[in-house]
A and B are shown apart, each in its own frame.
Chain A
C-alpha cells in the first residue's frame, strides 16, 4: 500500500531520469529509434531512484509546482511514471503532468524527424505513458491537468485533448505558471468548473517574492537563479519576459535542499548566468562571482544552464575569475553550458535577434562568436551551442555564412547542434510554420556541424567524461561516435538523396513529404 495524496505530479521516463548524472545526455532522449530501443533508453533515460514510487530527484519545473501546491496546503507528491497507477488507486484526485516536448514538436526532436523516418524515444515514451494513464482513467475517477512551457503543442494536436480527456491546460507562456496550476487544482478539488486553456500573460508574470523554494532534490541539482531575458529574440519563448533574479538566500536554500538529499554537484539555471544581479546587458561581476562562490561552497562541480557570448566578452576578467573559482582540476575539470550561436548571417541576426550581440554591433556577430569561443576555450568552458536553421527570410547566402562560421569554430572545444526553426507558442514567430524546405546547402551545414561534433566528442569523452560509474556509458557513446565517423560519407549521400526527392516532390506540387501542409505538424505526428 502507498500513502494517499490529493495531487500527484509526474511525467514520462524521458524526463523522469537523471541521464546518468549528465544533463547533456538528456538530448539523447530526442533521438529516433534507429538503434535498439533498450540500448537507447538505457543510455539516455535510465530509471530514477525512488522509494515506493516517490522519486529522489525530479525535473526542476515539477519541483516548483510541487512547492507551490504544498505551500497552498494541498497534499502533493512527485511520483515515478511507473507508480502513477498505484497512487491513483490509493485515492489521488488530480494528476498534474509537466513536459517540455509532449509530442516531439520542439527542437531538437522535430529536427531529427525531418530526415529520419523513425519515432523519437521521447515521443514513444510519452505515448506509452498516456496509454497507461487512459487505462487508469477508464476505471478511476481523477482529473488530468497538463502544464508547462510547451503546452502550446496541444493546440496543434487538439484531438489529443479529447482522446486523453484533459481537464485543463496551463500554459506558462515562457514563464512560471505554478500559481495558476494551484488555482486550477483547488477548483478541481472543490468540484468547480475550470477553463480548458489558461495562458499567463506578461503582465501576470510572477514576482520573485511570490515564488517559494523547492522542497526536494531536482534532477542533477538544477537550481534556477533568475527568470526572463532582456534580448527579445523573435523565435524564443522567453523573449520579452521581464528580467528577475532570485536573492542569494533563496538560491542557497534550494542548493541546501539538493545537498541534503544527496546532490554533490549542481547546475545554476537562467537565460544568462553572467547577467545575475544585473538589470542591463552588462554583467554585475560582483554578483555573478557571489552566486558562483555560493554554489561552489556546497557543490563539487558547478554547471551553468546558459550564458551569452556577448555578456562573456564584455568582461573577460570575470570569465577568468569564474574559471579560477570553479575549475579546481580535482573534482571539476570544466564548466559545461549551453549557448545560442543561432546564425552566422548578419542579415538574419538583424532581422530576428538584433539585440543578441549587444553591446557589440550586430554587423560584427560572426567575429564576436569566434572571439567568444576562443575566450571560453582558454577558460575550459565547454559550450553546447545551438543554431536555428530555417528562420523566416533565410536564403542560401545566410546558410552559407553559418556554415563558414561553424568551420571557423573548429579550433574551439565545443559541440554545435543545428535545430530547425519551430514556431513556439509564446514567441513572436508563433504564427509561422515549421521549417521543412531542405536544400543542398543545408546538408553542407549539417555535415559541417557533424564533423565538428565528432572531432570534439572524441576529445571530450577522453578528457572530460570520467569516473568508474560512467565507464559503460563512455564506452557506448564512444562506439556510437565511431560509428557516425565511419558513416559520414553515407550520411551525406542519404541526406542529399532526401533533399533531391523532396525538391522533386515540391516541383510536382506535392510539397515536401515531411511537411503535411494541412496540419502544419511535423512527420512524427502522422505515426500515431
Chain B
C-alpha cells in the first residue's frame, strides 16, 4: 500500500471524515485496526459521516469488504461508506457525494 490518510472535509456545514487507502495491492495490506483508529479520530473531530476510499486495481470488492468487516461492523453511530475504485474514478468523487439519504 502506498499511503493511508484521514482528511476532514466540510460539506454543507457537515463534517465528513474521508479515509484514503491508496495503492492497495494485497488484502493483507488493509490494517483494519489502523482504519479503526482513523475512524475514531474522525469521530473525535466532530465527523458523523466517514467515507473510506480504497484505491486499488488489484483487489475485488469482496476482498476489501472482508478486510474492513471489523471496521464496518464495529461502529454503529457514524454513517459510513466504503468505495472500491481506481485512481481515475477517485478523481470523479473528490467533491461531496452524499449517498446517505
- Interface residues, chain A, with chain B CB atoms under 8 Å away: 152, 154-156, 158-163, 166, 169, 173-174, 177-180, 182-184, 187, 192-204, 206, 240, 423, 425-428, 430-431
Contact = CB atoms under 8 A, between A and B. Distances in A.
Nearest to A192: B92
B92 A183 contact: no
A197 B54 CA distance: 12
Contacts of B92: 192-193
A159 B69 CA distance: 13
Contacts of A154: 65
Contact of A195 (B48, B62, B82): B82
A179 B76 CA distance: 19
Given A196-B82, A430-B74, A158 B89 contact: no
B80 interface: yes
B101 A199 contact: no
Name which of A163, A197, A425, A430 has the most chain B CB atoms within 10 A of its CB: A197
B67 to A, nearest CB: 9
A182 B99 CA distance: 9
A202 B80 CA distance: 11
24 contacts: A152-B72, A154-B65, A155-B72, A161-B62, A161-B65, A162-B61, A162-B63, A169-B65, A173-B76, A174-B76, A177-B101, A178-B101, A183-B99, A183-B100, A195-B51, A196-B61, A198-B79, A198-B100, A199-B72, A204-B49, A204-B79, A204-B101, A431-B70, A431-B73
Interface string B79-98: 11111110001001100011
Nearest to A165: B61
B74 A200 contact: no
Contacts of A169: 65
Name which of B51, B76, B85, B92 has the most chain A CB atoms within 10 A of its CB: B76
Interface of B: 48-49, 51, 60-66, 69-70, 72-74, 76-85, 89, 92-93, 97-101
Contact of A160 (B62, B77, B97): B62
The 3 nearest A-B residue pairs measured at CB: A179-B101, A201-B79, A195-B81
B16 to A, nearest CB: 11
Nearest to B65: A158
B77 A195 contact: no
Contacts of B97: 187
Contacts of B66: 155, 158-159
Given A155-B73, A158-B62, A166-B61, A197 B48 contact: no
A193 B69 contact: no
B62 A200 contact: no
A240 B77 CA distance: 9
B99 A201 contact: no
Nearest to B81: A195
Given A195-B51, A195-B83, A196-B65, A204 B100 contact: yes
Nearest to B60: A162
Contacts, number: 113
A179 B48 CA distance: 18
Contacts of B69: 155-156, 158
Secondary structure call for the B interface: mixed
Given A155-B73, A158-B69, A201-B49, A187 B99 contact: yes
Contacts of A428: 76
Contact of A193 (B49, B70, B93): B93
B9 to A, nearest CB: 16
Given A183-B99, A195-B99, A430-B73, A203 B62 contact: no
Contacts of A182: 101
A180 B51 contact: no
A187 B81 CA distance: 15
Contact of B81 (A159, A163, A178, A199): A199
B78 A203 contact: yes
A240 B76 CA distance: 9
B82 A200 contact: no
Nearest to B63: A158
A75 B85 CA distance: 29
Name which of B77, B81, B93, B101 has the most chain A CB atoms within 10 A of its CB: B101
A425 B73 contact: yes
Given A161-B61, A161-B65, A195-B51, A206 B101 contact: yes
Given A192-B92, A202-B76, 19 more contacts: A154-B65, A161-B65, A162-B61, A178-B101, A180-B101, A183-B99, A184-B99, A187-B97, A193-B93, A195-B81, A198-B80, A199-B79, A201-B77, A201-B100, A203-B79, A204-B101, A206-B101, A423-B73, A431-B70
A197 B81 contact: yes
A160 B65 CA distance: 11
Given A158-B62, A194-B99, A204 B48 contact: yes
Contacts of B85: 193
